[in-house]
Amino acid sequence: MELYKLNISEARELLDRKELKASDLLDSIYKRIDDIEDKVKAFVTLTKEKAYQMAEVSQRIIDTGKSFPLSGIPMAIKDNMCTKGILTTCSSKILANFIPPYESTVTSRLGDKGYILLGKTNLDEFAMGSSTENSGFFTTKNPWDLERIPGGSSGGSAAAVAAGECIAALGSDTGGSIRQPASLCGVVGLKPTYGRVSRYGLVAFASSLDQIGTITKNVKDSAILMNVISGNDPLDSTSAPLPVPDFTKVLGHEIKGIKIGIPKEYFIEGMDKEVELSVKDAIKKLESLGAVPVEISLPHTEYAVATYYVLATSEASSNLARYDGVKYGFRAEGKDLMDMYMNTRAQGFGVEVKRRIMLGTFTLSSGYYDAYYKKAQQVRTLIKRDFDEAFKTVDVIVTPTSPTAAFKIGEKTEDPLQMYLSDIFTISVNLAGVPGISIPCGFTSNNLPIGLQLIGKHFDEETILKVSYAYEQSTEWHKRRPGI
């Protein structure tokens, strides 16, 4: 077996038994990157020198017999999480030369447990997009079909995991940006409850929606990573002061009697028939494992996309106001200060980012705030209440992750509204702040992955991990890898 095909658990076992050295695993993955990265284009930056330094440190700890959960495990990090002394671009020209002077909490916690940083992965600029076509640098390709998108905005991380260019990765999810690319690339993507994982050092897009999460080869690896990155952080005021359970402890428990909600609003006209069939087959499989399906209603689902794009763009308009060319990042020439501001933002931001800044500025402007932003916040509350009501009768909600499999590069770039609808099944989860996971549940006739989404109660990642693991272990979908 090629070493780059290992998952976290397999690599941990071999490293601890001294059958494998951290540098050997690293050699295998960088060779894999050398072989296919020019086709996949998952990485913005590779940190090879630092990676081998980290591998040396990890190996010394492993040799003492007291290794940490991630000692010697090579991972990729989405390039909107700050890494001290390492380029952090958000795939935007405006941050093309930005080197943070501090470390994000999640990467600091990974470092404390011995991980190895392979590099920073590509994304839609400032995480604004569903296809990675909005990167300011290049489009990442889907390893299952290089003519198709990997999803977004965490497309680089999902493609890297699927293609074996890392053992696991971190992404961020504002409206589905972990789960949707995980679905389209045939891997596991977990968005935790808002507040479960610190956002300190995550470059903000929409602060009330953004959440860091995991992209892995299987459910157990997600649980392992969640044990490391979760927990209260005094540097993040939105981080919840709650104890962190051992997420791996629930894996393998039976799911007999667990009630799974099937929302009628999620099986809509226009959804790909192969996706619908695979998801319904997955529900039958869960039923055969003892889960009890219950039809439920989430009546305000139809307003989720509109609500999300009012709120997210409003927050983006506010958050991105700081990029003015004065303190850091790209600066354009100008005849005076105002001219410099305008030239910097015009040249530094891409089309999609400009579109969202303008939309957000409009919805926050005098005379429109009450009509748009305030109303969107009210609808957000109704969407959250829908979930609260549903979870009074069910333990988990099961839906498709994406209405289609991966579409072709360029297919939707001229129609932003069609692109926004790619997140129709994932957006409500962020608006409500609840956890969601996408796991592989089938393939189309074109051999493209299909994802199943499981949604849980606030801070109940354990239940969605338990149900996901039970499904995963009773099927073979997660074992399939692209032939690239």
230-262 pLDDT per residue, tens = 999 999 999 999 999 999 999 999 999 999 999
The number of C-alpha atoms within 13 Å of 366 and in the hemisphere containing its C-beta is: 0
Q: pLDDT band at residue 20, thresholds of 50, 70 and 90?
A: very high
In a domain? residue 352: no
pLDDT of residue 367: 86
User: Helix or strand or coil: residue 390?
Assistant: helix
CA proximity to 229, closest of 202, 265, 261, 257: 202
Q: pLDDT band at residue 413, thresholds of 50, 70 and 90?
A: confident
pLDDT of residue 417: 65
Asked if residues 69 and 248 have their Cβ atoms less than 8 Å apart, the reply is no
Q: pLDDT band at residue 127, thresholds of 50, 70 and 90?
A: very high
Dump pLDDT digits (tens) for 87-111.
999 999 999 999 999 999 999 999 9
Consecutive H or E run containing 31: helix 22-40
In a domain? residue 63: yes
Q: Is the dihedral of CA 15, 18, 23, 25 positive or negative?
A: negative
Give CA–CA dist 266/426, Å, rounded: 10
Dump pLDDT digits (tens) for 281-311.
999 999 999 999 999 999 999 999 999 999 9
CA 259 to chain centre: 26
Catalytic option among 41, 78, 113, 141: 78
Asked if residues 209 and 311 have their Cβ atoms less than 8 Å apart, the reply is yes
- For the chain, the C-alpha Rg in angstroms (whole number) is 21
Residue 419 scores a pLDDT above 80: no
**Residues near 396 by beta carbon (within 8 Å), at least 6 away in sequence:** 258, 259, 260, 261, 454, 455, 456, 463, 464, 467
pLDDT of residue 273: 94
Tokens representing 315 are 């927050």
pLDDT of residue 238: 96
Dump pLDDT digits (tens) for 168-180.
999 999 999 999 9
Give CA–CA dist 379/399, Å, rounded: 21
What domain range is 158 assigned to? Answer: 3-257
User: Which residue is associated with the tokens 């009509």?
Assistant: 371
Cα separation values, 276 from 80, 407, 440, 441, Å: 33, 16, 13, 11
Tokens representing 140 are 């990442």
In a domain? residue 285: no
In the 8-state DSSP scheme, what is residue 88?
Answer: -
pLDDT of residue 96: 95
What average pLDDT does the segment 76-92 reach? 98
User: How far apart, in Å, do the first and last CA atoms of the chain sit?
Assistant: 16
User: Helix or strand or coil: residue 360?
Assistant: helix
Q: pLDDT band at residue 188, thresholds of 50, 70 and 90?
A: very high
In a domain? residue 281: no
What average pLDDT does the segment 401-424 reach? 84
pLDDT of residue 373: 95
In the 8-state DSSP scheme, what is residue 443?
Answer: E
**Residues near 344 by beta carbon (within 8 Å), at least 6 away in sequence:** 94, 323, 324, 325, 330, 331, 332, 334
Catalytic option among 153, 157, 222, 428: 153
In a domain? residue 262: no
Q: Is the dihedral of CA 249, 254, 258, 261 positive or negative?
A: positive
pLDDT of residue 366: 85
Give CA–CA dist 308/372, Å, rounded: 11
Consecutive H or E run containing 189: strand 188-191
Asked if residues 221 and 9 have their Cβ atoms less than 8 Å apart, the reply is yes
pLDDT of residue 103: 98
In a domain? residue 293: no
The number of C-alpha atoms within 13 Å of 438 and in the hemisphere containing its C-beta is: 32
Q: Percentage helix, strand, coil, to 5, in the chain? A: 45, 15, 40
Q: Report which residue type is found at 130.
A: S
Looking only at Cα atoms, what is the longest distance across the chain? 70
Among 268-277, 334-343, 365-374, 382-391, top mean pLDDT goes to 382-391
Number of domains composing the chain: 1
**CA triplet 378, 382, 388: central angle to 5 degrees?**
140
Instruction: Give the CATH number, domain containing residue 229.
Output: 3.90.1300.10
pLDDT of residue 420: 66
Q: Report which residue type is found at 183.
A: S
78 counts as catalytic: yes
What average pLDDT does the segment 187-216 reach? 97
Q: How does the average pLDDT of the chain come out, rounded?
A: 96
CA proximity to 257, closest of 32, 479, 470, 457: 470
Residue 270 scores a pLDDT above 90: no
Q: Is the dihedral of CA 460, 462, 464, 465 positive or negative?
A: positive
C-beta atoms surrounding 356 within 10 Å = 26
pLDDT of residue 422: 76
What average pLDDT does the segment 379-383 reach? 98
pLDDT of residue 328: 87
Catalytic option among 28, 91, 177, 438: 177
Q: pLDDT band at residue 402, thresholds of 50, 70 and 90?
A: very high
Tokens representing 147 are 């003519």
In a domain? residue 252: yes
Q: Hey, which residues does 216 pair with through a beta bridge?
A: 188
In a domain? residue 241: yes
Sheet with 211-216: list strands edge to edge: 43-46, 116-121, 74-78, 168-173, 211-216, 188-191, 436-443, 449-455, 396-400, 259-263, 292-296
